[in-house]
Structure formats: C-alpha cells, structure tokens
Structure 1
Amino acid sequence: MKKLNGLFERMANHVTAWTGSSPAFLAAFAIVLIWAATGPLFGYSETWQLVINTGTTIVTFLMVFIIQKSQNKESKAIQLKLNELIAASRWASNRMVDIEDLTEEELNVLHKFYQKLSDESEKDEDIHKSHSIDAADLIQKEKQRFQSGQKKDDNAS
C-alpha cells in the first residue's frame, strides 16, 4: 500500500505541475479548437458534442482528486510552517497550534477574541506592539499603565 501511495504521490505532483503550466493550457485550448473546427465535418451531431462533453467530464472528475491531493499536502505544509513560527515565538500562544482541528463554533469564539484584541490594539498609538491570546488583557493593562506613567513623566519634564 505504501508503494502505491508513493506512486500516486509522485504522479499527483507531476500532473499538478504539468496541468498548471502554459503548455497544458495550450494543449487544452488546441483540443477545443480542433473539436470546434471538426463540427462542420460531423454536422454538429450529438456524437460530436458527446465527445467533448465526455472528455471534459472525465478530465474534470480526475482533476478533482489530483487537485484535492495537492491542496491537502500544501495545506498541511503551511500548517506545519505556521506551527513552527508559533512554537518559535516566545509571545505567541501555543494553543494556536493545531487550531484547524477546532469546531466552527470554537473558531468563532477565537475570532471574537481576536476581534476584541484588534479593537484593543487600535487604541495603541504604536502599531508595532503585539498581543498574545493568553495575556491580552494583562499586557494591554500593563501597556496602558506604562503609557500613562510615561505621559506623566513626559509632562513633568
């Protein structure tokens, strides 16, 4: 089974790379032109129409699986890269690793939290300050205390 999966993986990679290329588009375009040009030869018959319909249906059916395989692999790679960035950042919340496994409702709760976080950070004058999901309120309060203390110090000078 592993050998078959490896074969499918290599084939999917090659097919995905080729179908996204200019030569593949030109080949598909040429096929459509040839089909259209042969219309008068076959009297625009139902069989003539069935040829292109069947061909495009089969190609579309197969491409759905190839594209999905490619997207799954790319999505997993992106998730791993993001997980590495989260793990490497001392300020990022490790709770965000594997967030894609949460339910839609759980994601909505997090979305509302980040919306609140965004609203809070908009109050900051410095756009380069960051916030963490684990310490957002605490950090925001500390920053506000620091800023108000700094403003008092600035006014005293």
Structure 2
Amino acid sequence: MQDLFRRISTAAADMVGSSWTFIVAVVIVLAWAVSGPLFHFSDTWQLLINTGTTIITFLMVFLIQHAQNRDAECTQLKLDELIRAVKGARTMMIRLEDLSDEDLKRLRQEFSELHKGNDLIEKS
C-alpha cells in the first residue's frame, strides 16, 4: 500500500509541478471568470470555484508534505553516506536530526567558532 501511495504521489507531484498544469489551471480560472455573466454571477457559480479550489488545496497539502518528507529523507541519507565515507569526518554527525535542540545549538556554536577561525586565517 505504501509503495502504491509513493508511486501515485510522486507521479501526481511531477504532474502538478509542470508548466502544463499551471496553464490548465489558468485556463480553468479564466473560463470560470468568463462564464460569470452567463450564470449571472450566481452563488452556485461562485461555489463551484470555491469548492474546487478548497478540495484541491486540501489534497495538495498532503501530497506536498509527503514529497517534502521523502526528499528530506533522501537528502539526509545521501549526507549520511558522505559523512561515513569521508576519512576524518565525525560519524556522530550522521543522525544529527535525533539530537536535542540544545545539542544542535552547541554544534551550531562550535561551527560558528570554526568559521570565525577560518576567516581569520584567510585574512592573514
């Protein structure tokens, strides 16, 4: 079931992210706007676009979140592999996302100090 969802969500995200989908969306909105006088700008006419956009937005939230989670996990795994493969790299960095906010703050400070030290060396 998860594999099916992954395949569907990936295909949908690719499709929705295309320029053609944007063009189709613009055409739909223009057609809706142009049809306003035909339907006398009725409540039903307004409800049509409101309902359609609400449903699409609702579904897209889940689709985008899934795609973002998957991309972040893939990026994290690639970085983990690079850390593992580089001689002298601190392998404790591999699962940084599991550290507490305080631990991350300490590491950020450590790297900030290292960066400042490198700036001084480069200016010399």
1:90 to 87, 90, 96: 87
**Percent sequence identity over aligned pairs:** 46
CA–CA distance in structure 1, aligned partners of residues 47 and 100 of structure 2: 44
* Corresponding residue for residue 107 of structure 2: 110
Shift in Å, 1:110: 1.1
| Residue ranges of structure 1 left out of the alignment (5+ in a row) | 127-157
2:47 to 31, 46, 50: 50
More divergent stretch after superposition (35-44 vs 117-126) = 117-126
TM-score by length of 2: 0.93
Which amino acid in structure 2 is aligned with residue 98 of structure 1? R
TM-score by length of 1: 0.74
Greater RCO (CA < 8 Å, at least 6 residues apart) = 2
CA–CA distance in structure 1, aligned partners of residues 42 and 86 of structure 2: 65
CA–CA distance in structure 2, aligned partners of residues 97 and 43 of structure 1: 61
Is the aligned partner of 1:59 residue 2:56? yes
Within a 5 Å distance, the mapping from 1:2-41 to structure 2 comes to 4-41=1-38
4+ residue runs of structure 1 moved beyond 4 angstroms?
none
| Residue ranges of structure 2 left out of the alignment (5+ in a row) | none
Provide the secondary structure at the position in 1 that maps to 2:122.
Answer: coil
Which amino acid in structure 2 is aligned with residue 50 of structure 1? L
Which amino acid in structure 1 is aligned with residue 64 of structure 2? I
